[in-house]
């Protein structure tokens, strides 16, 4: 086992969330309350591999600097604690409030397969009256009984027009069901949604189109990133698009968005599990993606979702390296001498007559094929139409991941990798011609973890 300090280990991500030790997967219970972002997560507190599912818990003022707290929700006679969501019960609809603090309520799956006496999967709730520091399960659990298969992963939102809570629940295969409740305790079925190719971990949320608060659409999201854009009237979600994708990387799964971010902020922020990363000889296993702001924008193909890293990345900016209006020829490297261990790379490129252009990061290429209009990284690709004769890129580089965003987040590719720890190189390259680097800014990033490892 590596003997370096906690959070400083060789492959420890430095600005992506990881558990202090042991296994982590799906983000759960994402809540914002009184200046704190809460991140719960599927966690095995006693082992490096999946199992013994418990809700781990961390808080942050900015979704970058995290403090892991005690585990929040632990297995019981109904089962282990599978994925779910969280809300602030502002109006005390459940009647759980005992003091001046508003009640935080988490809704989760009781995985009966793993109960002391095997039983079906059901949905349960727990609440906190002290800003999430301690949690009490509801005596009346489960609040929603078994429906079919391993029904799981409840995502709950407050629907203001109908004055009710809405739950999106995965049922089986590619089928989900919507439910409503006045109090988070009693749930009534509303309608069924089929989202092909998605499987589990739903999310449902409303977004303005092109920033227009008077023109909104709803998104229904599945575990693998497949989603619909459509309408929701409090009873039925009506898809108005084909099945869409924005994220095309090798390691992005079970994404969920935060609830209760204040209207004065107005952002819809999403985080995902970077499923399948490798971290040999580390005390932790798996990491989260970097949080992204989601927007809906009009494109020639119709309304589409865009994903961009949150602006708080600037909280860990260090030295900047800037280039502007420089012709890049084959064999030239603008980034010679620029360290690339932890980086936020942003570029706008006039494609000129090149066939391919890209950045090699620690030996791995992020590249754009002009001929094929494909943005690629770590074996995965996404179609990306140029903006006229230009493309825009943002690339986040951590110790074990590369996340690429094309044309302000029209597509993203989030992937894990395992570079040589000694390789911190960055290189620009072109093939088949010359391109104009309109601008390129590389910010070196500092670690979000405390140096002491405390």
pLDDT tens, position by position, 238-287: 999 999 999 999 999 999 999 999 999 999 999 999 999 999 999 999 99
Q: Which of 181, 192, 189, 196 is nearest to 138 (CA)?
A: 181
Are residue 99 and residue 136 in the same domain, yes or no? yes
Q: Which of 433, 297, 315 is nearest to 370 (CA)?
A: 433
Q: Check pLDDT > 50 for residue 315.
A: yes
Q: Check pLDDT > 70 for residue 454.
A: no
Give the residue numbers annotated as catalytic, written as ranges: 26
Q: How confident is the model at residue 68 (pLDDT cuts 50, 70, 90)?
A: very high
- How many domains is the chain partitioned into structurally? 2
Q: Check pLDDT > 60 for residue 452.
A: no
Q: Is residue 451 part of a domain?
A: no
Are residue 112 and residue 253 in the same domain, yes or no? yes
Q: Is residue 113 part of a domain?
A: yes
Q: Is residue 90 part of a domain?
A: yes
Q: Check pLDDT > 70 for residue 3.
A: no
Are residue 321 and residue 285 in the same domain, yes or no? no
pLDDT, the chain, mean: 96
Domain with residue 404: its CATH number is 2.60.120.560
Q: Is residue 297 part of a domain?
A: no
pLDDT tens, position by position, 183-217: 999 999 999 999 999 989 999 999 999 999 999 99
pLDDT recorded at residue 199: 86
pLDDT tens, position by position, 136-147: 999 999 999 999
Percent of the chain with pLDDT over 90: 97
How many CB atoms lie under 10 A from the CB of residue 190? 18
Are residue 337 and residue 234 in the same domain, yes or no? no
Domain with residue 122: its CATH number is 2.115.10.20
Rounded Cα distance between 453 and 450, Å, is: 5
Are residue 332 and residue 259 in the same domain, yes or no? no
The residues facing 54 across adjacent strands are 43
Asked if residues 217 and 228 have their Cβ atoms less than 8 Å apart, the reply is no
Q: Which of 55-59, 64-68, 228-232, 419-423 has the lowest mean pLDDT?
A: 419-423
pLDDT recorded at residue 123: 98
Are residue 38 and residue 84 in the same domain, yes or no? yes
Are residue 89 and residue 214 in the same domain, yes or no? yes
Rounded Cα distance between 420 and 389, Å, is: 35
Are residue 237 and residue 353 in the same domain, yes or no? no
pLDDT tens, position by position, 105-120: 999 999 999 999 999 9
Are residue 72 and residue 185 in the same domain, yes or no? yes
Domain that holds residue 388: 316-445
DSSP letters spanning 353-376 = T-SEEEEEETTEEEEEETTTTEEE
pLDDT recorded at residue 451: 67
């Amino acid at each position: 086992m590596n003997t370096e300090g906690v959070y400083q280990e060789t492959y420890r991500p430095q600005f992506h969330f990881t558990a202090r030790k042991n296994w982590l997967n799906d983000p759960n219970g994402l809540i914002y309350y009184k200046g704190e972002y809460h991140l719960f997560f599927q966690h095995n507190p006693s082992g490096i591999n999946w199992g013994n599912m418990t809700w781990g818990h961390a808080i942050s003022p900015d979704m970058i600097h995290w403090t892991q707290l005690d585990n929040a929700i632990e297995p019981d006679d109904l089962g282990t604690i599978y994925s779910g969501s969280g809300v602030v019960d502002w109006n005390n609809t459940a009647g759980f409030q005992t003091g001046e603090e508003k009640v935080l309520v988490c809704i989760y799956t009781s995985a009966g397969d793993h109960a002391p006496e095997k039983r079906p999967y059901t949905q349960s709730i727990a609440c906190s009256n002290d800003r999430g520091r301690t949690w009490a399960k509801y005596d009346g659990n489960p609040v929603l009984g078994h429906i079919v298969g391993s029904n799981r992963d409840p995502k709950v939102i407050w629907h203001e027009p109908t004055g009710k809570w809405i739950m999106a629940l995965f049922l089986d295969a590619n089928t989900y069901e919507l439910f409503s409740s006045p109090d988070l305790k009693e749930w009534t079925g509303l309608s069924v949604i089929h989202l092909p190719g998605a499987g589990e971990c739903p999310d449902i949320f409303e977004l303005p189109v092109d920033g227009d608060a008077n023109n909104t659409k709803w998104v229904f999201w599945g575990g693998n990133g497949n989603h619909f854009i459509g309408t929701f009237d409090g009873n039925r979600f009506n898809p108005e698009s084909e099945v869409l994708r924005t994220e095309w990387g090798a390691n992005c799964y079970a994404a969920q968005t935060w609830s209760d971010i204040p209207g004065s902020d107005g952002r819809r922020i999403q985080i995902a599990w970077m499923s399948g990363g490798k971290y040999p000889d580390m005390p932790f296993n798996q990491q989260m993606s970097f949080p992204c702001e989601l927007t809906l924008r009009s494109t020639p193909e119709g309304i589409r979702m865009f994903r961009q890293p949150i602006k708080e990345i600037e909280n860990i900016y260090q030295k900047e390296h800037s280039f502007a209006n420089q012709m890049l020829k084959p064999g030239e490297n603008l980034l010679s001498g620029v360290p690339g261990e932890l980086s936020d790379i942003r570029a706008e490129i006039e494609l000129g007559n090149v066939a391919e252009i890209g950045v090699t990061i620690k030996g791995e290429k992020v590249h754009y094929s002009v001929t094929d209009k494909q943005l690629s990284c770590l074996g995965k690709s996404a179609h990306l139409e140029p903006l006229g004769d230009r493309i825009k890129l943002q690339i986040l580089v951590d110790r074990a991941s590369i996340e690429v965003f094309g044309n302000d987040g029209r597509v993203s590719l989030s992937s894990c990798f395992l570079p040589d720890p000694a390789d911190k190189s960055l290189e620009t390259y072109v093939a088949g011609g010359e391109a104009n680097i309109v601008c390129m800014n590389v910010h070196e990033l500092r670690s979000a973890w405390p140096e002491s490892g405390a």
